[in-house]
Structure 1
Amino acid sequence: MNSTWLNSPMAEERGRRPGNPQTRDSILEAAIESFVTRGYGGTTIRAVARAAGVDPALVMHFFGSKDKLFEAAIHGTMPVALVIEAIGGDEEHLGERLVRRYLWLWEHPVHGPKLAAVLHAATATPAAAELLKELMSRELLGPIAGTLSHDHAEARALLAASQLLGLALMRYLLKVDPLASMPADLVAAAVAPGIQRYLTGTLSLAEIAAAPR
């Protein structure tokens, strides 16, 4: 066999991984790693392809654009199902269950860094923020609101989520003390009552029904 051909670009392209589901998973894993370590702005299609051992055209074939790749990475990064698991049960203790599960995910050695990467990207890039907003509204806030028996369930779920996002920003991204160094159990005990109030307490939300959309 001609050794020159073995070193040619055509041989390299033919040696790349074919477009199968395993290849898509490899691309997604490389993308998640890049978004976690380099952020949204520092991630490129070409770099992701290189890390996955495929041609950039194959990344585009599977995902279409960097935004779609980031959306898929969010789905692969955000442990939505683990949050939804905490919804089941009585409404009286829903706030505590959500806060404790939320803190557990952020403290987790695998989930935590990925959540930080997604939140950091959302605060730095409008496109990433829009993707995260759509995902949260569809797959997290909707299910939470659907479990509430009180009025203005969507607004209640959103108010609770705003507090949880603020908690993550101050504790895990900005690392503001003493919040950043407080034991997770102590944080949960302090935050859960406020979240519970948003979900099931008495709130002045009557004007929401008449507000323009």
Structure 2
Amino acid sequence: MVRPAKTSSRRGRRQGEPVSREAVLSAAKQRFAVEGYEKTTLRAIANDAHVDPSMVIYLFGSKAELFRESLRLIIDPDVLVATLAEGEGDIGTRMVRAYLGIWEHPETGASMVAMLQSATSNPDAHEAFRGFMQNYVLTAVSDALGGGDDARLRAMLAATNLVGTAVLRYVMRVPPLATLSAEDVVTLIAPSVTRYLTAPADELGLTRLQTG
């Protein structure tokens, strides 16, 4: 149990037993995956992490921020960026394979389904999910492509293929997409992702948008 902080005019770290930020994030990820955003409480997360609920607020500020940060345990932007630079196949193949790997894994896949469902049904979870995609994933990928508005739009166009595929395959489970092997899906989706990321700007219509 974390002892209350001493009264001070300056906000600082609470005294007492050290608290692992990672332990709180891990507990939050599990709770959000099992119960969804609305049913998950900070008190339940605190109990799972064996800390005082006030420490959860101290570390993360709000449930929405904790939701957004716990997404990084499932989708690590650094891992996605690494796939752009190394591995087998072209850039689209590597990215799609890495992304589908998150959904195919029993633990992270279940977490993604629950969190995406929360993001489509709760406004706070929606804003947290959108912030995560904009500030972490899209920023990391666009920076790896050279940065700037052009790269960010390319990353977002690629994301439309990835997110749409995930919703139909793993959330809604619509056949035949839901019944294909993961590698078959990679083969089908990768060319479009590669095109969005590497095709000349005028072929994608980006030049017209920049000058319009």
Q: Into which bin does the TM-score normalised by the smaller protein fall?
A: 0.7 to 0.9
Corresponding residue for residue 126 of structure 1: 123
Give the SS at the match of 1:87.
helix
Instruction: Please point out which of 83, 87, 93 is paired with 2:84.
Output: 87
List alignment gaps of at least 5 residues for structure 1. Answer: 1-11
- The C-alpha deviation readout for 1:115-166, integer Å capped at 9, x for no partner, is 2233222222222222222222233222322343799222111100111001
Output the CA distance in 2 between the equivalents of 1:21 and 1:154.
37
Corresponding residue for residue 151 of structure 2: 153
Contact between 2:2 and 2:17, CA under 8 Å: does it hold in 1? no
Instruction: Please point out which of 108, 111, 115 is paired with 2:112.
Output: 115
Instruction: Please point out which of 138, 155, 163 is paired with 2:135.
Output: 138
Correspondence list, 1:14-163, <5 A: 18-22=16-20, 24-89=21-86, 93-148=90-145, 152-163=150-161
Instruction: Please point out which of 151, 175, 178 is paired with 2:176.
Output: 178
Corresponding residue for residue 204 of structure 2: 203
Give the SS at the match of 1:78.
coil
Distance change >3 Å, CA 26–CA 143, structure 1 → 2: closer
Output the CA distance in 2 between the equivalents of 1:81 and 1:109.
21
CA deviation after TM superposition for structure 1 residue 98, in Å: 0.6
| Number of residue pairs matched by the alignment | 195
Identity of aligned residues (%): 36
Q: CA RMSD in A?
A: 2.6
Output the CA distance in 1 between the equivalents of 2:23 and 2:54.
15
Distance change >3 Å, CA 190–CA 50, structure 1 → 2: same
Q: Which amino acid in 1 is paired with 2:160?
A: S
Q: Which amino acid in 1 is paired with 2:183?
A: D
Output the CA distance in 1 between the equivalents of 2:122 and 2:17.
30
List alignment gaps of at least 5 residues for structure 2. Answer: 4-15
Output the CA distance in 2 between the equivalents of 1:172 and 1:79.
19
Structure with larger Rg? 1
